[in-house]
Amino acid sequence: MTEGALAPRVADVLSVDADGFRDRAVADADVIKDAIEDGVFDNPQAIVGLEYEFYAIKDDDATLRRVPRRLLELIGFEKELGLHNAEMTTSPQPLNAYGIAAQESEVKARLQTALRVTESERMRLVSDGLWTIPPEGESATTYLTDSIERPADDANGSERSIRIATNMSDSARYHAMANTDQAQSAGMHLDAPHVSLEAETVMPESLITSIQPHYQVAHAIDLPTYFNYAVRVAGPLLALGVNSPFFPADLYDDEATPEDILADSWMENRISVFETVLNDPTTGEGKVRFPHDLESVHEAVDRVADDDTIVPMPVEKGERFDDQFPHFREKHGTYWRWVRPVFGGPTRSAANARIEFRPIPAQPTVRDSTAFLAAFAGLLESLTRLEHPVHELDWELARENFYAAMRDGLEADLTWITNDGKETTDTLDIYEDLLAHAEDGLTNRGLTDEQAAKYLYPLRRRVRQGVTPASWKREHVHAALEDGDSLEEAIATMQRTYVDRQRETLLEGSFADWIGD
């Protein structure tokens, strides 16, 4: 779609009455709460699902590539923020041995097809936390900040100027975020060690990609218990999954030395990118944040309905079950918390209350991604069933764990309460308890000891070796710098090595194959 055709659509979005949209979202919340009381969102058992994001590169040199829209349709992937992004959403499956195997098989089947199709375009989809090599002949700064203004008449016939990000997907909501009266609520800049970039749109957020495991609770009224445990495992699981220690080289401040950048880089810059692009630090906590505990399922519904509205989208009621609360459903799309509740479903029988776990970056291989899905689901099963004492961990400590993991990965100082009620900061003790309960949750859902151990092996190996994808990247950049490469060369060499190793292991191996004995 051309900028000229997109601008009127954005103008129409901007003409939606914000107060009316908010009032209807609040009314929708009452519909959901009534349905919860009637048991509509209950299920016979827990169910799992996965969202999996990728970015595209030129196959021969790993430079970023824009994905043609026709190609996305051909491979059955969904568009995301940037023109280089592609997202896969799996079909929900019961949490049992067959369900987890089905999740992994579906990802592999669809991804293998996508890889074959994109190969004909000399393109490759990459599973990674943050891209670092910009498109051929372009800088990352230009790619992320390039935008134009186009005049357009809104629904009231008034002309206004609409800013369109050149490399952003043609979703009116994405572009409206830079043009709405609430745009000041978004930071629209990058702020990380030795990185500072100002933008006029939210396009810098397209640097990052993630996996998002979903866990549907059996009884909606119990969602807060599961949610509060998810908040406490967020830090330790993030520390295991960190995968974005570097930005594209041209985004670093000119006065920063490679040694400074290497020493000060955070292990999971994806967290800071999402927060600083979408939060303005002068307007309060911000919409992207570590969530507080929940006391009731009604509180979970109200939090979404009462959240600040950046883009009140026009809503057309459809035939799905969750089209009975369309404004709430639309508003949830900008309810950005690192752990968030979801209420939805295409039919009344498929209606569900679930927890979407958003801290984990895209991983080196499908097996690694499946390991996090299995670990998250197994933990929520076991910790709730056994009433694990980590629910007594102070929320402030859980939040500190999360941001410590962002900065330092497995080297972070984390606090945990083990099954015997003892508080510990010992990394091995934390993960011995954490992964034992993940395994217990899986075996309690019918997996054999061997099956559960297989799914969790990639994570146990990271703990045993003290290596994460982020630390692997840091070591490769350090080695290249020691060999005399410039920072740009060192990051590019690391990234191409990452892609080469992924090419060998994406579908059938794991990151454990990268780190040796």
* Mean pLDDT of all residues in 96-117: 97
305-333 pLDDT tens trace: 999 888 887 888 788 998 999 999 999 98
H helix runs in 159-289, sequence order: 172-176, 223-241, 258-264, 269-278
pLDDT reported for residue 312? 82
Angle at 52 between CA 113 and CA 471, to 5 degrees: 110
pLDDT reported for residue 3? 57
Half-sphere exposure at residue 162, Cβ-oriented, CA atoms within 13 angstroms: 28
In whole angstroms, give the CA distance from residue 214 to residue 292: 19
In whole angstroms, give the CA distance from residue 456 to residue 58: 33
In whole angstroms, give the CA distance from residue 416 to residue 400: 11
**DSSP code for 506:** T
* Mean pLDDT of all residues in 6-16: 81
In whole angstroms, give the CA distance from residue 316 to residue 351: 20
Please, which pLDDT band fits residue 155 given cuts at 50, 70 and 90? low
Asked if the model's pLDDT at residue 159 lies above 80, the reply is: no
Secondary element (H or E) of residue 85:
strand 85-89
For residue 161, count CB atoms less than 10 angstroms from its CB and return exposed for 0-12, middle for 13-18, buried for 19 or more.
exposed
Residue 179 CB neighbour total at 10 angstroms: 24
Whether the Cβ atoms of residue 441 and residue 378 lie closer than 8 Å to each other: yes
Q: For 361, phi and psi rounded to 5 degrees?
A: -70, 160
In whole angstroms, give the CA distance from residue 187 to residue 491: 27
In whole angstroms, give the CA distance from residue 308 to residue 280: 13
pLDDT reported for residue 180? 73
17-35 pLDDT tens trace: 888 999 999 999 999 999 9
Can you say whether the dihedral through the CA atoms of 483, 485, 64, 262 is positive or negative?
A: positive
216-228 pLDDT tens trace: 999 999 999 999 9
pLDDT reported for residue 281? 72
Length of the chain in residues, anyone? Answer: 517
Among 177-181, 232-236, 395-399, which is the least confidently predicted range? 177-181
Asked if the model's pLDDT at residue 86 lies above 80, the reply is: yes
DSSP 405-419: HHHHGGGS---EE-T
180-189 pLDDT tens trace: 766 556 778 8
pLDDT reported for residue 184? 57
Whether the Cβ atoms of residue 384 and residue 149 lie closer than 8 Å to each other: no
The more confidently predicted of residues 322 and 52 is 52
pLDDT reported for residue 398? 98
Angle at 461 between CA 100 and CA 362, to 5 degrees: 55
The region that residue 466 occupies, defined by phi over 0 for left and psi between -120 and 50 for alpha, beta otherwise, is left
422-466 pLDDT tens trace: 999 999 999 999 999 999 999 999 999 999 999 999 999 999 999
For residues 264, 267, 270, 273, the Cα torsion angle rounded to the nearest 10 degrees is -10
Average pLDDT score over the chain: 93
pLDDT reported for residue 517? 47
371-405 pLDDT tens trace: 999 999 999 999 999 999 999 999 999 999 999 99
* Mean pLDDT of all residues in 46-64: 97
pLDDT reported for residue 182? 60
Amino acid of residue 487: L
**Which of 501, 502, 425, 516 lies closest to 465, judged by CA?**
516
